[in-house]
Amino acid sequence: MILVAEGIRPGAKQLTKEITDFVGGEAVKPFLLLLVLAVVGCASTQSPRVADSSARGRWAGKTVVITGASSGIGRGAAVEFGRQGANVVLAARRTNLLEEVAGEVRARGGTPLVITTDVSKAGDIERLAQAAVRRFGRIDVWINNAGLGVVGPFWDAPVADYSRLIDINLKGVVYGSHAAVRQFRAQGGGTLVNVGSVVSEVPVAYYACYSATKAGVLSLDRALNEELRLNRLTGNIKVATIMPWAVDTPWWKHAANYSGHTPRMLALDDPSKVVNAIVNTAEHPSKEVPVGWKAQGAYISHRIAPDITETISGNIVQREQMEKGASAPVTTGSLYRPIQAGRFVEGGQREEMKREDQQRRLPAPPEGPGSQ
């Protein structure tokens, strides 16, 4: 999972050392070969363009629907589309936060529309699409971004949580994609952007059902692209899958957690990287977009050597999540009802992990009198 596009970037040497420590022994040799091959692959992979600071008005008059718009990547994308003049249809469960985001979109020159939406309900998605068309006449881009996680050993979480996760992460994307593509066919075109994950390609331990839902998103998009090709619709209708590395957003606070430890991951990306990828993919669609050098490396290395890539990924999560994380109680997060924690684009997870790491490195307190 640690491959570099343009030489060793900041932090990558330490990252490579840590993964070598995880793997150890003879397994290092094939990994180093894999690293060289994937570096070459990454070097030829086009990185998403950085959002153009002069792009005000680029999306003027165009309509963008975003689910999961109350925080995290969805909120960041909404504000950026607003800055570029778009009509931004904001969908999520937390209406009060959507109104906040609407104020930001409006202040930056966009036109917002707030529609309270639970993506796990097909009726809510249909109502969302109808409201967008009724207000703005058409939908140019539909972004299925809403998603949650369940963290921990597969057998420790109740099956009801997995059912709910599938309702949100997979069925919600199916409902949104169905509404979007039907509208695109009716109006003669449009772009569907579904937010998957690097785990769409590389499944990881302790995120089993989450990995399955994100793999489902990628498989749905690949099949959709084939159907569009067979029906000669690819010229007007585009379907793209965004595949980020783990990102510092409120996702970690909203996840259900049965691991016994605070949720964490190695080398979290800044959400602005994914926001830029979404905005640029909406304008320049590409079928599959691994975001950043870590996601690109994981994507390519899994194509070259899937078993060793999954082993390395599992070792990373074992160490970061199950060994380094501070103790934490069981929680269902925001699976069943929205919570007020995690209101912004960034989640503050990198700072929390830094504090945990500093605390863990403190010397143990001296033993008291009479201790053995």
Q: Which pLDDT does position 54 carry in this prediction?
A: 54
Task: Flag the least confident range among 29-43, 96-110, 224-238, 345-359.
Answer: 29-43
Both tokens assigned to 259: 């691991």
Domain count, the chain: 1
- What confidence category does residue 363 fall into, taking pLDDT thresholds of 50, 70 and 90? confident
- What confidence category does residue 327 fall into, taking pLDDT thresholds of 50, 70 and 90? very high
Domain assignment of residue 348, yes or no: yes
Domain assignment of residue 370, yes or no: no
Asked if 90 and 158 count as a contact pair (C-beta separation under 8 A), the reply is no
CA-CA-CA-CA dihedral for 126, 129, 130, 136, to nearest 10? 170
**pLDDT tens by residue, 185-198:** 999 999 999 999 99
Phi, psi of 193 (to 5 degrees): -120, 115
Asked if 90 and 115 count as a contact pair (C-beta separation under 8 A), the reply is yes
Both tokens assigned to 149: 């996680």
293, pLDDT greater than 90: yes
Give CA–CA dist 233/60, Å, rounded: 25
- What confidence category does residue 370 fall into, taking pLDDT thresholds of 50, 70 and 90? low
53, pLDDT greater than 60: no
Give CA–CA dist 271/267, Å, rounded: 12
Asked if 191 and 238 count as a contact pair (C-beta separation under 8 A), the reply is yes
Which CATH number does the domain housing residue 237 bear? 3.40.50.720
Q: Which pLDDT does position 264 carry in this prediction?
A: 94
Q: How far apart are the first and last CA of the chain?
A: 45
Task: Flag the least confident range among 48-62, 81-95, 317-331, 335-349.
Answer: 48-62
Catalytic annotation present for 299 = no
Q: Which pLDDT does position 57 carry in this prediction?
A: 79
8, pLDDT greater than 60: no
Active-site pick, 210, 258, 299, 336: 210
Q: How, if at all, do strands 237-244 and 190-195 pair?
A: parallel
Domain assignment of residue 107, yes or no: yes
Mean pLDDT across the stretch 48-57? 58
Mean pLDDT across the stretch 62-84? 98
Q: Which pLDDT does position 207 carry in this prediction?
A: 98
**pLDDT tens by residue, 12-24:** 555 555 455 444 4
Taking alpha carbons only, the member of 243, 247, 242 closest to residue 199 is 243
Give CA–CA dist 365/178, Å, rounded: 59
- What confidence category does residue 7 fall into, taking pLDDT thresholds of 50, 70 and 90? very low
Q: How, if at all, do strands 87-92 and 63-67 pair?
A: parallel
Domain assignment of residue 372, yes or no: no
Mean pLDDT of the chain: 89
Phi, psi of 228 (to 5 degrees): -65, -40
- What confidence category does residue 37 fall into, taking pLDDT thresholds of 50, 70 and 90? very low
**pLDDT tens by residue, 103-116:** 999 999 999 999 99
* Distance, CA of 1 to chain centre: 16
Domain assignment of residue 366, yes or no: no
**pLDDT tens by residue, 272-291:** 999 999 999 999 999 999 99
98, pLDDT greater than 90: yes
Give CA–CA dist 143/66, Å, rounded: 5
Give CA–CA dist 118/123, Å, rounded: 9
Domain assignment of residue 2, yes or no: no
**pLDDT tens by residue, 131-189:** 999 999 999 999 999 999 999 999 999 999 999 999 999 999 999 999 999 999 999 99
Domain assignment of residue 5, yes or no: no
366 Cβ partners below 8 Å, 6+ apart?
Answer: none
Domain assignment of residue 127, yes or no: yes
Full domain range(s) for residue 86: 12-359
Could you identify the residue written with the tokens 């998403």? 48
